[in-house]
Chains A and B, each alone.
Chain A
Amino acid sequence: MSFGPHLFLALLEGTVSAFVLALTALGLSLVFGVMRIVNVAHGEFFMLGAVLAWFCASLVGTPVAGFLFALIAAPLIVGALALAADRLVLRRIDYHPEGTIVATIGLLYIIQQAVLTLYGPEARPVTPPVYFILSFPWFGYSGYKLVVAAISACLLAATWWLLARTKLGLYMRAAQQDLEMAQAFGVPARRVYAMVFALGAMLAAVAGVLVVPIQQAHYLMGLDPLLLSFIVVILGGLGSVKGTVVAAFVVGISDGVVSVFFSPTLAKIVATLLVAAVLVVRPGGLFGEDRA
């Protein structure tokens, strides 16, 4: 394919993946920003969203109904699971940073293997709610992917609205800036933490529901989104929502464009090393505060 159309395709793909990535990574970023912990099981919440979407689709008749059902049910179920994990494990270890990492690695394996047992090792497809192909002169493109981008954009906006305009959002921002002060002003820290953790999980789950008609639901699908989310969150700044969204676009679009010139594996290597370099030079990430 000649350069122009190739670039166009790369930009299309990059935009779609940027939106999905922003949605997936946002949860991780919020959790770190407010709670100061890294949730290594984040990718598994994404996978759970995808698998639950498959369950919903198999229970309901039409793809559209299945999709809508999943959009509501999957995040609720995953959110409840996250609340349970917070109450039973994270709270008990008092959100100790390194302990949380170990605990969430454990959670990763528990969720992954539970899905393996209950859902099986197969990769199963989910029919997209709408299916049409945009035929450009040089290539065809899945219309549903653009729908995913649009829905993600709406959800990102909704999350921004939650943070900027609601009481919960106010509490979250307060807790992020200075937990002790916030508590002194009556912010219920424990409850905010629980809600943030649940919100983070729910965002990942929704991303999974959106993405699964493009890919397939498979019990190992959570690892890649986790690594990508790490990259985005670090580049954008641990704890900065704006930074996360910007970084998602940088990563998403450049990944598409770079793979025009280089092999994808090489592009991934470069991206990974770049992230490490950023952290070394600015331990708080590009936009974040210096929180070494």
Chain B
Amino acid sequence: MNDLATHRVLALHLGVLALLFLAQFALPEYHHTNVARIMVLAAYALGYNLLLGYTGLMSLGHAMFFAAGMYGAGLPVYYLGFGAAGALGAGIATGMLLAAAFGLMALRTSGVSFLIVSLMFAQAFYLASLYFNEITLGDQGFILSGKLAPLQLGGTPLGFHEPAVKYNAALLLFAACFLLSLGLRLSPIGRVLIAIRENEERTRLFGYDSFRYKLLALVLSGGLAAAAGASYALLFSYVGSTFASILFSIYPLLWTLLGGVGTILGPLVGTGLMFYLVDIASGITSAYLLVVGVVLVALILWFPQGIMGTVRAKWLPWLP
């Protein structure tokens, strides 16, 4: 990619981040926390997109990585008094380890088999979180707010309950995942991943060890998902089994598809749009998950590329 294109890409993506930063001063109260939530969940979707959009592997088990991050961060805070930074690190590490272990076993399969294996592993993880409820407190879950020490920034304590801290912490997380995804996409590794997505056989014929690349993608994907899960626990204070259930594996698929699979901006667009679609729908009907179903079917029938994917196809072919 030539210099001009890279500049354009960077400008656009950094611009989006700047917009998100400025938004916190303009947003009304209610939407302030919503956008913080959206950013954390969009980081989850970015992780998912790494695997689906850039490596071509569809998983229905990403909730286990999200939950691994959540428990990986939450349990040390609750039982061992970890601080936020340590907990975040522990959460990410847990997710990446789990992804690596899973990848070593599951990457022999692909396509539908991989999908079902991921679903099964995630289900086992969910059941385990219920089984070991003496520690995890299972379905009920536990609260971190009393136990989490505020961040210290040069002497001033920054509690996570303060809206500004919450928003900017979420933004930092999102920005990190966002730029990491972009960087990966533009790097040689990213190109190999896309080649694997397009045609794995041929990529292997060129001498690339596709297994190693897929494993790398999976570990990074799991790491991002875990970072999102850990942040969700730290910022919103609650850890529970519900976040390991199947619905939580379906969400990132939905958000990524809606926003545009294989685009960097897609996950943010998809997560935000879906959040508000559900919010508005729940004002109209109590069957608000219907929106989820209709959107999925409509997407697959008429917009398989999603919003940013369609934008890229029609107007901005340089969009990563």
Contacts and interface: CB of A to CB of B under 8 A. Distances in A.
Do A and B touch each other in the complex, judged by CB within 8 A?
Answer: yes
Interface of A: 38, 89, 92-93, 97-99, 101-103, 105-114, 116-117, 223, 227, 230-231, 234, 238, 263, 265-266, 268-269, 272-273, 275-277, 279-280, 283, 291-292
Interface in B118-133: 119-121, 123-124, 127-128, 130-131
Secondary structure type dominating chain A contacts: helix
Contacts of A109: 289-290, 292-294, 296
A279 B123 CA distance: 15
Contact of B117 (A93, A223, A265, A279): A279
B119 A230 contact: yes
Contacts of A265: 127, 130-131
Interface stretch (B41-49, B103-111, B163-171): B103-111
Nearest to B108: A280
B290 A113 contact: yes
Contacts of A93: 300-301
A261 B80 CA distance: 34
A82 to B, nearest CB: 15
26 contacts: A93-B301, A98-B111, A101-B58, A102-B300, A103-B300, A105-B293, A107-B297, A109-B289, A109-B293, A110-B297, A113-B289, A113-B290, A114-B287, A114-B290, A116-B287, A231-B120, A265-B127, A269-B131, A277-B105, A279-B120, A280-B117, A291-B113, A292-B109, A292-B110, A292-B111, A292-B113
Given A93-B300, A106-B293, A109-B290, A234 B124 contact: no
A291 B292 CA distance: 31
B24 to A, nearest CB: 33
Contacts of A277: 105
Given A223-B246, A230-B120, A280-B106, A107 B113 contact: no
B294 A110 contact: yes
A42 to B, nearest CB: 13
Contacts of A234: 116
B320 to A, nearest CB: 22
B277 interface: no
Contacts of B298: 106
A10 B285 CA distance: 43
A231 B116 CA distance: 9
Interface in B46-105: 58, 60, 105
A276 B58 contact: no
B296 A280 contact: no
A92 B130 CA distance: 41
A97 B112 contact: yes
B115 interface: yes
Contact of B299 (A102, A111, A280): A102
B115 A101 contact: yes
Interface string B228-258: 0000000000000000001000100100010
B106 A276 contact: yes
Secondary structure type dominating chain B contacts: helix
A105 B253 CA distance: 10
B180 interface: no
Task: Please indicate which of the listed interface residues B124, B295, B304 has the most CB atoms of chain A within 10 Å of its own CB.
Answer: B124
B286 interface: yes
A276 B290 contact: no
Contacts of B131: 263, 265-266, 269
Given A269-B128, A279-B109, A106 B116 contact: no
Contact of B289 (A92, A112, A227, A230): A112
Interface string B150-193: 00000000000000000000000000000000000000000000
A225 to B, nearest CB: 14
B307 to A, nearest CB: 15
B115 to A, nearest CB: 7
A117 B287 contact: yes
Return the 8 tightest CB-CB contacts between A and B, nearest first. A109-B293, A106-B296, A110-B293, A106-B297, A113-B290, A113-B287, A276-B120, A272-B124
Contact of A280 (B105, B111, B119, B300): B105
A129 B304 CA distance: 47
Task: Please indicate which of the listed interface residues A97, A103, A230 has the most CB atoms of chain B within 10 Å of its own CB.
Answer: A103
Given A263-B131, A279-B109, A107 B287 contact: no
Interface in B269-306: 285-290, 292-301, 304
Contact of A38 (B116, B287, B301): B116
A8 to B, nearest CB: 27
A103 B287 contact: no
Contacts of A110: 290, 293-294, 297
A283 B128 contact: no
A112 B293 CA distance: 9
